[in-house]
Amino acid sequence: MAIIERPADTTTTVAPVEEAAPVTATSSYGYLRRPVESTGWRSWAFTVDHKKIGIMYGVVAMFFFIVGGLEAGLIRLQLAGPEGTVLSADKYNQMFTMHATTMVFLFVMPMAAAFANYFIPLQIGARDVAFPRMNALSFWVFLFGGIFLNTSWFLGGAADGGWFMYAPNSDVPFSPTNGVDFWALGLQITGIASLVGAINLITTVLNMRAPGMSLMKMPIFTWMAFVTQMLLLFAIPVITVALFLLMFQRSYDATFFSVEAGADPLLWQHLFWIFGHPEVYIIVLPSFGIVSEVLPVFSKKPLFGYTFVVFSGAAIGFVGWGVWAHHMFASGLGPVSVAVFSVAPLAIDVIFGGAVLGLFAGMYYWWPKVFGKTLSESWGKWNFWLMIIGMNLTFGPMHIIGLQGQPRRMYQWTENRAGEGFFNLGMWNLVATIGTFVLIVGVALFFINAIWIHRRQPVAPLDPWDARTLEWLTTNPPKPHNFDRTPTVHALDEVFHRKYEDVGEGDSHEYVQRSTLDELVLEEEAQADAHIHLPAPSYWPIVLAFGLPIMAYGVIYTTWLIVLGAAIVVAALFGWALEPADAEDADFDPPAAGGESTSKELANV
């Protein structure tokens, strides 16, 4: 939806002759148009509004969370008892590979992107991101890439080499089905989404902050998300290179990882972990940011050591590049492996605890902002406790199992290696499985809370948590243009300082409320900008995104599909470049302040 101005009635290029059809800015060549719908599925499919895109990212990410959770459930069922028969060895290998790939690339990263997309512009006082169509492109590329990756289940088997896909096991003689090809190409596609998004958000943060918001007055979530995007910017190209090498190795007989040709399989490990270590920070930093937002609101104090926290985040971003080889201690690089590294689920526990719980915290905190209602608190408490207990019951025993000698990625364990006594491998495996199902119930409660209970909830007040940052200076949910008037920022935690004033003297402090948030928002409305120009929706991002998986299918099956997919991509690029800046007419006409519709005027752009 956009507040659209009707363009001036002049033609652009040549002085027309009588029958000349003027080429106006609204309809290039008579066929390139902008979509105009503001309701219905088309308003979602062609949107460039960062808020809609954020919601779509979130919904799809939660869908993949369920998919990954089902995969985890099957894994744990298989390992609940000795020599399980739920999954064959082959299916188990596919299951754990896809579980990890789905959780990392199709759940956590997009969920963080959802928050970043929705809240970075709001937190910095902008109306949208720097490149709205690229933003839409990121989402659709991610969605189609994720779907493409999962079609492998139905097309000969999913990838089965582990989410780290070490060479030479990833090569054709050892992974003969197309699964690994789907994995490599699917991640290549979703990598495009992440990289494009990173460029977009970095530009947004650096260029579109509200007047007065210096970098050190930015909310901490924006800071952490910004560091994350910088990490993505440099890490994704590395995995892109690795995936290209793998794709050429498998599909076009290259010898990058062929030992017979003199290659060193450790090349893949180095490339993967140079990406892989920054990747774990990419996963966890947004959640650090969310928790650092939530804690101050409920402690009613600013973040302690904000400067330190910002610099720590940036330091993580820098220093994290130098430590990738700690994923390779046993690889024979030099010094020795330590037995503790068989306790591998440590990493998963940290991801789950750190990242996932942080994301859920963000959802409960920002739900009223996005959807206008709070989630039910009682259901939320059940959700939280079951998840915490389930998480510890699932991953805690895995530490013990590892220390007792069961390595990872084993499709079965046997009775005679399980040790004696009650607390043996068998018992811990069973506990971990039970924990998984407790966790699943906990997550299910979240969905019940979000989908059904949500409907019965009353409309939330404008300021349910007495918040501190700029995104709350809008309605719930925010209007399409976010802020009626671009705010001028004077301090960190701007909204808090607008609400409260310190009337104490000297060392004593007394905070008195000067305004409620409702009053502040009304005041903003009264001072609304007369002319607000929003980016218009576009067909081309989704069309372009559609061409990419077709090309990927072409790499696997037939080169003609590559040609077809490339043609779609090129055509979409043309459309993108040549389409008019605005739609001729939209069916939405919001009243500006003061009642009369004065929206359709030429903007001073």
Partner 1 sequence: MRDAMTTTSVESVNSLSTRLRSAKVAAVAGLGVLLAGCAQNAAQDTFAPEGENAERIDGLTRLVFSIAGVVGVITFSLIGWTVWRYRDRGQPIPEQSEGRKSLEIGLTILPALILVGVAVPTVQTLSALNKTSDTECVVNVTGQQWWWEFDYPVQPGCLPGGITEPIVTSGQMVIPADTNVLIRGTSRDVIHSFWIPKLNGKRDMVPGRVHTLRMQANQPGIYAGQCAEFCGLSHANMRMEVVALSDAGFQTWVDNQLEAYTPPEEGTLAAEGEQTFIANCSRCHQVNGILDTNGTPIVSRPDTQVYPGAAPNLTNLMTRNTFAGAMWDLIDDQRREEVWEASPEEFDELYLAGVEDEWLNAVRLRAWLRNSPAEKAMYADPTQLEPTDGRYRGMPYLALSEDQIDQLIAYLLERK
Partner 2 sequence: MFTTGSKFLIGAAVISLVATLVYGIGQGGVMGTIGLTSATVARAGLAALNLFLRDSNVFADDAQLDTSSAAQHAPGASVWPLAFAVGAIVVTVGLVTFQPIVIIGLVLVLAAGAEWAVQAWSERASGTVAHNASVRSKLSNPLEYPIGSAIAIGIVVYGFSRVMLWLSKTNTVIAFGVLASIVLAIAFVFAARRNVGKGVIGGALGAGAVAIIVAGFVTGIDGERDIPVFETTALWQSEAILHPEEFAEGTEKGKHPAGLICESPEEFPEADEDASQTVGNKSNTVNVTLGADDTLTYRVPGPTASVGIEVPTFARSNATNVIFFNRSDEHRRLSVSLGTEEVEVDGETVTAPNQLCTTLIEPGAEQLITVIARQPSFAFDDGFFFFVPGVDDARLELVVP
Output the CA–CA distances (angstroms, integers) from residue 392 to 101, 423, 429, in the order listed: 22, 17, 13
Q: Is 477 in the site for partner 1 (CB under 8 A)?
A: no
Q: What dihedral angle (degrees, nearest 10) is formed by the CA atoms of 82, 88, 91, 96?
A: 10
Instruction: Report the nearest approach of partner 2 to the CB of residue 169 (Å).
Output: 17
For 242, list phi and psi in degrees, rounded to 5. Answer: -60, -40
Q: Is 407 in the site for partner 1 (CB under 8 A)?
A: yes
Output the CA–CA distances (angstroms, integers) from residue 359 to 17, 68, 451, 584, in the order listed: 61, 16, 17, 40
Q: For residue 196, what are the contacts with CB-CB under 8 A and spacing of at least 6?
A: 134, 137, 138, 141
477 binds, among partner 1, partner 2, none (CB under 5 to 8 A by kind): none
Q: Which residue of 22, 156, 212, 461 would you call a contact of partner 1, by CB under 8 A?
A: 461
Residue ranges in 565-584 that form contacts with partner 2 under rule CB under 8 A: 574, 577-578
Q: Is 10 in the site for partner 2 (CB under 8 A)?
A: no
Nearest to 521 by CA among 566, 464, 569, 463: 463
First vs last C-alpha separation in the chain: 19
| Span from 13-21, 82-90, 200-208, 216-224 in contact with partner 2 (CB under 8 A) | 13-21
Instruction: Report the nearest approach of partner 2 to the CB of residue 17 (Å).
Output: 5
Nearest to 471 by CA among 410, 521, 429: 521
Q: Which residue of 5, 23, 24, 516 would you call a contact of partner 2, by CB under 8 A?
A: 23
Q: Which residue of 38, 47, 93, 228 would you call a contact of partner 1, by CB under 8 A?
A: 93
Residue type for 518, please? D
Q: Is 19 in the site for partner 2 (CB under 8 A)?
A: yes
29 binds, among partner 1, partner 2, none (CB under 5 to 8 A by kind): partner 2
Q: Is 174 in the site for partner 1 (CB under 8 A)?
A: yes
Q: Which residue of 8, 9, 10, 18 would you call a contact of partner 2, by CB under 8 A?
A: 18
Q: What is the dihedral sign for C-alpha 73, 409, 321, 346? A: positive
Q: Is 159 in the site for partner 1 (CB under 8 A)?
A: no
Residue ranges in 223-282 that form contacts with partner 2 under rule CB under 8 A: 259-260, 262
Q: Is 20 in the site for partner 2 (CB under 8 A)?
A: yes
Return the ∠ at Cα 335 (arms to 331 and 336), rounded to 5°: 70
Q: Is 557 helix (H, G, I), strand (E, B) or coil?
A: coil
Instruction: Show the site string, 328-357: x = touches partner 2 by CB under 8 A, - = not.
Output: ----x-------------------------
State how far the Cα of 486 lies from the Cα of 126, in Å rounded to an integer. 7
Q: Is 299 in the site for partner 1 (CB under 8 A)?
A: yes
Please check whether residue 167 is in contact with residue 268, taking contact to mean a CB–CB distance below 8 angstroms: yes
26 binds, among partner 2, partner 1, none (CB under 5 to 8 A by kind): none
Q: Is 604 in the site for partner 2 (CB under 8 A)?
A: no
State how far the Cα of 203 lies from the Cα of 242, in Å rounded to an integer. 27
Instruction: Report the nearest approach of partner 2 to the CB of residue 20 (Å).
Output: 4
Query: What tokens were used for 523?
Result: 């005041």
Residue ranges in 251-290 that form contacts with partner 1 under rule CB under 8 A: 259, 262-266, 284, 287-288
Q: Is 88 in the site for partner 1 (CB under 8 A)?
A: yes
| Span from 9-17, 181-189, 196-204, 277-285 in contact with partner 2 (CB under 8 A) | 9-17
State how far the Cα of 577 lies from the Cα of 130, in Å rounded to an integer. 16
State how far the Cα of 240 lies from the Cα of 229, in Å rounded to an integer. 16
Residue ranges in 352-371 that form contacts with partner 1 under rule CB under 8 A: 353-355, 357-358, 361, 364-365
Q: Where do contacts with partner 2 occur on this chain (CB under 8 A)?
A: 13-14, 16-21, 23, 29, 259-260, 262, 332, 574, 577-578
